[in-house]
Amino acid sequence: MEAKQDSSTPISRGILKSNQTQVLTRLGNMFAPDVGLPKIADVGEFNYCSSCGTCEAICPVNAPVVRRGPVDVSKEKNNYRKMELKTEVLFQGVNPLKTEVNPCVQCYACERVCPILDGFPVDEFNNIRHMKAGKSKTLHGQDGAVVSQILKSLLEQGEIDCAVGIVRNDKWSTKIFTFTKPEDVVKASGTKYTYQPAVATMRDIHRAYVDSAESPLISPDGVMREESRTYIEPIKNILKKYKKVALVGVPCQVHGASLFRENFNRIELIIGLICMESFSEEIMFSEVIPKIMGVDIRDVVKMNFHKGKFIVETTKETKEVPIKDVAPMARHGCHFCQDYTSYYADISVGSVGSDDGWSTIFVRTEKGEQYLNKVKDIEYSDKPIFLDIVKKLAAMKHKNNKWDWRGFMKEIWSRDIPPRPWGRERLERIPPPEVEKVEKTEKGDKAEKAAKPAQPKE
């Protein structure tokens, strides 16, 4: 769905005051407009959505759908395959029981799991229990193949029964894949800098679990049945086994997955990647690779962001450009993201902070520690993690992506009359702004002061 974009609605950082009547009209007026759409509508409307797919996973009727198909960027300039909310007007004359997707029924479950509505960590580094550099003794990956090794080893030992990852083909088109065999894990190794709504996969896993209770269900043809729904039957038998899922994702997905886990305990382990930004396939394949890097995507064997450069290795050559040449083309949602190191993961993994060929590992929860201790075939380095560089890059991301999240929250949660109880709670729990180090350059002295939230833009 195209966000409103005209001269009065800047798309840069900072919040927009939403005109709720306009939002309702554009998204499809509900039968109970005074109650209001879930707040994920605002998240999508103003391009703050990260496309993580968590709302899609939890929604009982499939109303929020992260766009999977290609976007014609000449017509929908600001759509980066974000969440689109389906509402009543789209279904006029349609029997909702015959559709996979249904209009929102305002249960507000999605408001509990959206990472943007939940907010960003105030201090990204305050939950690290241990940090070390490691590499797999047997596998090759983007860096030290630590992610692949963790998944492989835990699958081999039966500690997890399924892992969610991203695979690619020779044209770098990606898809979400669920692995059950240890030897298959390497199929997902290597970083793809494009995006998939990985958490939406939990929808299938969770539904299969509910269906296994064999309660009477309404089938897509509208008939009440005693047996389970037939249309998910082909996957149901496999998904029945998925009780201990490991999910790998970038910080926004990890955050959504951790909120989902609070509601449905099917995710056993969350492995987070460090992430500065990602790109839509449209931009990656039509602009970044052919025009900026000047190579054919089919020749590309590896992409990497390293030491200020975007580097593309092909079968013939290695090409690099300064990151500033490609970063502005990242997906819109990424320009509002304030988590660099996957704060909400059990274990975070990245490349920055350790030597080439090694992975930086942050263990953040007790569960992460227990699982990492069980992993075999990882060699650990004696060299400490160079945390200063990680902190510097996190601070850079926070600064570049600064926006008035608190103002956005105040606006959307105060709008309803009466306000939703959990909205009031959210407002009361808004964390204080991150404390920033500000350099007074003229006098050369340094001062620490609290960052002032930007004022909402009219």
| Binding positions for ligand FAD, rule: CB under 6 A | 141-148, 165-166, 188-193, 195, 198, 248-250, 273-276, 278, 305, 349-352, 359
Nearer CB in complex with ligand SF4: 65/154:
65
What lies within 8 Å, CB to CB, of 419 at 6+ separation is 413, 427
From ligand SF4, ligand FAD, none, which one binds at residue 103 (CB under 5 to 8 Å depending on kind)? none
- Mask for 328-347, x = binds ligand SF4 (CB under 6 A): -----xx--x----------
**Pairing, β 435-439 against β 446-450:** antiparallel
From ligand SF4, ligand FAD, none, which one binds at residue 59 (CB under 5 to 8 Å depending on kind)? ligand SF4
Crossing angle (nearest 10°) for helices 405-414 and 421-428: 150
From ligand FAD, ligand SF4, none, which one binds at residue 52 (CB under 5 to 8 Å depending on kind)? ligand SF4
- Mask for 133-162, x = binds ligand SF4 (CB under 6 A): ------------------------------
CB of 236 to ligand SF4, least distance (A): 22
Supply the DSSP symbol for 175.
E
What lies within 8 Å, CB to CB, of 103 at 6+ separation is 28, 61, 63, 86, 87, 88, 90, 91, 96
Residue 330, both tokens: 């990242």
Please select the residue that binds ligand SF4; options are 28, 190, 256, 353, rule is CB under 6 A.
256
CB of 118 to ligand SF4, least distance (A): 9
Neighbour tally for 334: CB within 10 Å: 23
* By the rule CB under 6 A, 202 interacts with ligand SF4: no
Q: Which stretch binds ligand SF4 (CB under 6 A): 18-26, 98-106, 163-171, 319-327?
A: 98-106
Nearer CB in complex with ligand SF4: 88/377:
88
CB of 151 to ligand FAD, least distance (A): 6
* By the rule CB under 6 A, 47 interacts with ligand SF4: no
Residue 346, both tokens: 């059990």
* By the rule CB under 6 A, 349 interacts with ligand SF4: no
Q: Which long-range contacts (CB under 8 A, 24 or more apart) does 3-11 make?
A: 3/44, 3/45, 3/46, 3/47, 3/78, 3/79, 4/45, 5/77, 5/78, 10/457, 11/47, 11/78, 11/332
Nearer CB in complex with ligand SF4: 63/146:
63
Q: Which of 199, 156, 202 is nearest to 180 (CA)?
A: 156
User: Which ranges in 231-301 belong to alpha helices (H)?
Assistant: 233-239, 251-263, 281-283
* By the rule CB under 6 A, 27 interacts with ligand SF4: no
Per CB under 6 A, residues contacting ligand SF4 are 38, 40, 43-44, 49-55, 58-59, 61, 63-64, 66, 83, 104-110, 114-116, 195, 250-252, 256, 275, 277-278, 333-334, 337
